[in-house]
């Protein structure tokens, strides 16, 4: 059986938002990176909130052997789960992540830029709405931009080409089950 490879008549970089209160937003974005790997595309993932606790994607991405770079800039989830870092530090790290996102866009080297948990960072005021809107508006025409995290701002949703909302129906953590490696981190 011959496999057909589709080629769009017009190539266009999309803005994709993955939001909602359910589990799987980062996992969905990582799925995009895996798919892009199959197309020999270059992907950069900048994690805005993660960075204080190990996550399996850090080593998983390396093992894929693709052009996928994962940069964790955060200090963990601001204000929850006993996170010890002050708001000022979280904001400073998020501001560095914004600068890095601009550098990656300006380099022209990325086919896909994933800004993991940027919606959370915006909701917590670690980044400003104007900064996120500027990233969307300055995105190179052929580069895909993926923004993940809960509480996507209405203006971000309006500018996006594709928006998925992941809804929690049931979560093991709510039942007292600790986060599990490979599933939750």
94: in domain: yes
Tokens encoding 92: 């400073």
Residue 6 belongs to a domain: no
Q: Give residue-wise pLDDT tens across range 35-65.
A: 999 999 999 999 998 777 778 888 998 898 8
Q: List pLDDT tens digits, range 81-129.
A: 666 778 898 899 999 999 999 999 999 999 999 999 999 999 999 999 9
Q: What is the pTM of this model?
A: 0.92
Segments forming the whole domain that contains residue 103: 15-166
Residue 175 belongs to some domain of the structure: no
Asked if residue 115 belongs to a domain, the reply is: yes
Tell me which residue has tokens 């895996």: 34
What is the DSSP code (8-state) at residue 160?
A: -
Token output for 25: 């937003």
Residue 7 lies in a domain: no
Kindly report the CATH number assigned to the domain that includes residue 132. 3.40.50.300
* Sign of the CA dihedral running 19, 46, 106, 69: negative
């Amino acid at each position: 059986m011959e496999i057909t490879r589709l080629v769009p008549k017009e190539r266009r970089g999309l803005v994709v938002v993955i939001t909602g209160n359910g589990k799987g937003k980062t996992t969905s974005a990582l799925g995009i990176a895996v798919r892009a790997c199959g197309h020999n595309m270059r992907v950069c993932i900048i994690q805005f909130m993660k960075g204080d606790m190990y996550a399996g994607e850090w080593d998983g991405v390396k093992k894929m052997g693709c052009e996928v770079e994962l940069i964790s800039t955060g200090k963990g989830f601001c204000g929850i789960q006993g996170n010890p870092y002050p708001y000022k530090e979280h904001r400073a790290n998020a501001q560095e992540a914004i600068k890095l996102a601009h550098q990656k866009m300006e380099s022209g080297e990325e086919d896909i830029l994933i800004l993991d948990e940027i919606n959370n960072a915006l909701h917590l005021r670690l980044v400003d709405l104007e900064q996120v809107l500027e990233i969307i508006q300055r995105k190179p025409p052929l580069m895909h931009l993926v923004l993940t995290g809960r509480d996507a701002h209405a203006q971000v949703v309006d500018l996006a080409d594709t928006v998925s909302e992941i809804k929690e129906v049931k979560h093991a953590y709510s039942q007292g089950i600790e986060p599990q490696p490979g599933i939750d981190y």
